Structure 1
Amino acid sequence: MRILVCTKMDLAGALILNTLLPRLADCKVMVLMSEKTRPVENTVPELAEIKFYERDLPVDILFPLLDRAEVGRGEAPRARLETFAALSARYGITIESITDLNGPDGEARIRAFAPDLTISARFSLIFKPNTYDIPPLGTYNIHPGALPRYAGLFAPFRCMLDGSDAIGCTLHRVDKGIDTGPIVGIGYLPVDRSRSLLWHVVNTYRPGLDLFLAMLDGLRQGREPQYAVQDFSQRQYVSLPGAEPFADFRAKGLKLFEPNEYLEILSGFLPPDMAMPSAVARAVNNGRGDPCCSAPA
């Protein structure tokens, strides 16, 4: 089977590929990566902070250091998690950035690969019919929120702010709307209020990935997915938050970021014999305005 995987060039995207690619080893896979930054992510301090830890630090600082260190390691023990470059080399797959998904070039790239199935998870670009109709088995999205209520952006934040006990992750088929397609299933990550938003974000996708892999096993055996139509009367589509919701989040004693927890996540990418690079540790501990990303004392 030929599978197109669409995700984001950030920490969560790397974790998604580390989960998916070992399970797709018998498939022909191409990966397309979005790198989109919305203007508000550079103007709202909390969003800029989150962007730094989700994207800038791992992709621009840690992963290049690890890729350089990998040269010449030979048979030395490998890390539990791998960078984008290491994943590409290990599985012999193409991992490419894309900015214009539905234009002539983007459509041509997808048609040239001729996927049987497309799966999107944390992909910042919106599919249109000329691209989501290409794979005969369909295009599916893993949305980090329970649809239809948590449509739109930043759903784990909204869910925690609402005081929910669990964050849903929805596997749905892509159609002409945004987060509107029929639902295959919803998995849930229990909310742990002692942990940060960032921890919840990077872990929310796993239940949706499990649903996708189960669906894929069914497709391989000739079973068609069963769908549930969304009740749009329950839909609450929201974009990225401004300052006030972040103030409410902190007032509830919730954290956006926690340094030790974050370093624990990053440590999964380190070989067993490597310490955390000092440049990364300094950036985390000294870093990008910790007061806005921690619970108040």
Structure 2
Amino acid sequence: MRITVCTKRDLPGCVALNHLLPGLAAHRVQVLMSEVDRAGEHQVPELARLKRFERDVPNRALFERLDALEAPPGPLLSFGHLARRYGLTCRSVREINKGDGLRLLRGFGPDLIISVRFSLIFRDEVLSLPRLGILNVHPGELPRYAGLFSPFWSLLEGRESIGCTVHWIDRGIDTGPVIGFGRLPVDPGRSLVWHVAHTYPQGVAALLDVLPGVLAGRTVPGLRQDGRQRRYRSLPGGQDFAAFRERGLHLVAPGDHRELLGPFTSAPAPLVDGRGRGATAESVALAQVRR
């Protein structure tokens, strides 16, 4: 079976792939990664900080250095080492309904597309490609937390857990039938980025539970979403982040750094930093985060 996995080239996307790809080892897999900046990430300081921790630092200060190593030093693999272990290619795309993204999809001819943190909307041109359809792992409880930044809104509203919904993609946004669900208990002592990185594996586990039936062509019961409960969320702004802080919540906590980045380098391999001195991938990455 040919399966295209669409994710984001960032830390939570890489964590999700580490959980997903072992379950797809029997299939031919293509990985497409979005690298899209939202305008708010350059205008709102809090969004810029999240982008730095989740995307800029892992990609530039950690994953590139790990990819250069012959063997992965930790239990979690960088994008490059994932590609080597599972015999696939990880390609970055900036659009999916035209250009290189659409060309890569057509050339591969997927039977199924799995979207996990992709950040790009699939239009008719792509929706009609895979014969089995497109599944999405959404990091929020649908239909109540449709849209963007669902873990943030869940924490801000004092929820005891963050849902992660597996649903079919249709022509709407986060509107398709639900076929699986995972849940992450909220840990008040942890930051937003910790919750985001740990929410996706819950949804991936739920997806892998139903995937055999999907690939076998069996009817997988889907629950139609109740539109009356739907709330679509957008990117938070300055006032939302102020309210987040007032609740005693944190976007990035120093104590989370080692837990999120450490599994990639749990047996640190010697590297050389920009000044020619000995370093480890983890120490370089953490230094970049703290600047």
**TM class by smaller structure:** over 0.9
> 1:46 Cα shift?
0.4
Whether the 8 Å contact between 1:7 and 1:13 is mirrored in structure 2 is yes
Q: How many residues get paired? A: 281
Deviations 1:185-217 (A, max 9, x none): 221110011110100001111121111111112
The equivalent residue for 2:171 is 176
Whether the 8 Å contact between 1:267 and 1:276 is mirrored in structure 2 is no
The equivalent residue for 1:45 is 45
1:2-81 matches, cutoff 5 A: 2-68=2-68, 70-71=69-70, 78-81=73-76
Gaps of 5+ in 1: 288-297
Secondary structure, counterpart of 2:146 in structure 1: coil
> 1:136 Cα shift?
1.1
Secondary structure, counterpart of 1:268 in structure 2: helix
- TM-score, normalised via structure 1 length: 0.90
**Alignment partner for residue 283 of structure 2, among 245, 262, 278?**
278
Distance 1:189 1:87, change over 3 A: same
Equivalent AA in structure 2 for residue 108 of structure 1 = R
> 1:220 Cα shift?
4.3
Equivalent AA in structure 1 for residue 286 of structure 2 = A
Q: Distance in 1 between matches of 2:214 and 2:177?
A: 17
Distance 1:141 1:248, change over 3 A: same
Equivalent AA in structure 2 for residue 162 of structure 1 = E
Q: Distance in 1 between matches of 2:49 and 2:148?
A: 17
Q: Does 1:136 align with 2:131?
A: yes
Q: Distance in 2 between matches of 1:222 and 1:277?
A: 44
Secondary structure, counterpart of 2:155 in structure 1: helix
CA-based RMSD: 1.5
> 1:108 Cα shift?
3.0
The equivalent residue for 1:167 is 162
**Alignment partner for residue 249 of structure 1, among 226, 234, 244?**
244
Query: Identity across aligned pairs (percent)?
Result: 49
Q: Does 1:189 align with 2:184?
A: yes
The equivalent residue for 1:211 is 206
**Alignment partner for residue 147 of structure 1, among 142, 152, 160?**
142
Whether the 8 Å contact between 1:129 and 1:175 is mirrored in structure 2 is no
> 1:145 Cα shift?
0.5
Whether the 8 Å contact between 2:191 and 2:250 is mirrored in structure 1 is yes
Q: In terms of mean alpha carbon deviation, does 100-109 or 251-260 score higher?
A: 100-109
Gaps of 5+ in 2: 270-279
Whether the 8 Å contact between 1:8 and 1:33 is mirrored in structure 2 is yes
